[in-house]
Amino acid sequence: MSETALHDLLLSGSFRVGRTLVTHLSDGVVVEPRANWFHGVDPACWMPVVGAGSPDTPFPVTFGGFLVQTPDTTTMFDCGIGPLARSMFPGIREGGNLLHRLEEAGVAPGEVDRVVISHLHLDHCGHLLKPDGSLTFESAEVWLHHREAEYWRSAAAAGNIEPARIRRYLDALQSAGVLRTYADEFELSPGVRLIPSPGHTPGHTAMLLSSAGAHAMLLGDIVHHTAHFTHPRWLQSYDVEPESSFATRLELFDRAARLGAVVTAVHMPILTLGTVTTTGSGGHVYHPAPPHRPVGQP
Ligand SMILES: [Zn+2]
């Protein structure tokens, strides 16, 4: 991949959902093999679908989050790796720079009302705390599914990624009084819904945005590649509850198809937008949207 092509993937890109502006903010891009996105699948099956010449073909992997601006609220959905970006991924480009991308979008961290975390892997919640342990988004509530907080505090998380560090994050949020949890799908504010979507982790959350008859679904780590829409059994190696991941995918893909929602996910290249339709046999087809030009502030 040329430097120019890589640079185009790095920074940010926006799209509108009715009166809501959504901006995918990068916290860095890694280019590396990702056979673990197709865990246990014969490479002869997935390679031709994703255009890979070998199981070691590198993929661009974006880290970061989405800035969601409705006329009344400013929300982050996930917030990247944070200060640990360069130590976790030594080859990362623009690693740890999500707050610069936020500033370029015209938003200061103190202006963010809520941060919704899809799940507590470090690459999704890292910017919640500054290196000194204080809150980055000092005015924001931090929303999680209650099972997510419980899972990371339990012995079941022992084999997952840095549970002790995640517990320190939870402790800091709790003692600052900003941690909020929810159980059933609900509307956090008009047009911003949180949807329990277990599988990748037990308390994973997706976000559904609706405005003026338009819809978009931010899928967290339910999908990592657009091939997952048509091959929902191709799961990621980190999934804690693989059967739930599969069920969650079918449920949300069906819902996105019914709504005509735009779908995207945080690890996809910026800006990856598409829609989903169902097939007669219960499968799904992904339709890439035409490239969106970046748009300005409302
Ligand atoms: Zn992730």
DSSP state of 214: E
Q: Which residues pair with 59 in a beta bridge?
A: 32
How far apart are the CA of 53 and the centre of ligand 1, in A?
Answer: 24
Q: Does position 69 have pLDDT exceeding 90, yes or no? A: yes
Q: H/E element holding 151?
A: helix 146-152
Task: Give Cβ neighbours of residue 250 (< 8 Å, ≥ 6 apart).
Answer: 232, 282
How far apart are the CA of 62 and the centre of ligand 1, in A?
Answer: 9
Each residue's pLDDT tens digit, 17-47: 999 999 999 999 999 999 999 999 999 999 9
How far apart are the CA of 281 and the centre of ligand 1, in A?
Answer: 30
What's the mean pLDDT when you consider all of the chain? 93
Could you give all domains of the chain from N- to C-terminal order, each with its CATH number? 3-288 (3.60.15.10)
Each residue's pLDDT tens digit, 154-191: 999 999 999 999 999 999 999 999 999 999 999 999 99
Q: Which residue has the higher pLDDT, 292 or 12?
A: 12
How far apart are the CA of 217 and the centre of ligand 1, in A?
Answer: 16
**pLDDT value at position 294?**
45
For the purposes of burial, counting CB atoms within 10 Å of the CB of 296, is it exposed (0-12), middle (13-18) or buried (19 or more)?
A: exposed
Residue among 77, 63, 82 nearest 113 (CA): 77
Cα(67)–Cα(100) distance, integer angstroms: 13
How far apart are the CA of 120 and the centre of ligand 1, in A?
Answer: 9
User: What's the gap between Cα 87 and its chain centre?
Assistant: 21
Q: Does position 5 have pLDDT exceeding 60, yes or no? A: no
Task: Give Cβ neighbours of residue 211 (< 8 Å, ≥ 6 apart).
Answer: 17, 18, 19, 20, 70, 191
How far apart are the CA of 284 and the centre of ligand 1, in A?
Answer: 23
Residue among 127, 102, 85, 139 nearest 14 (CA): 102
How far apart are the CA of 292 and the centre of ligand 1, in A?
Answer: 24
**pLDDT value at position 19?**
96
How far apart are the CA of 294 and the centre of ligand 1, in A?
Answer: 24
Residue among 273, 184, 277 nearest 226 (CA): 273
| Strands 284-288 and 205-211, sheet pairing | unpaired
Cα(85)–Cα(170) distance, integer angstroms: 19
Residue 297 binned pLDDT confidence (cut-offs 50, 70, 90): very low
How far apart are the CA of 123 and the centre of ligand 1, in A?
Answer: 6
Residue 9 binned pLDDT confidence (cut-offs 50, 70, 90): low
Number of residues written out for the chain: 298
The mean pLDDT of 145-150, rounded to a whole number, is: 98
Residue 3 binned pLDDT confidence (cut-offs 50, 70, 90): low
Cα(209)–Cα(190) distance, integer angstroms: 9
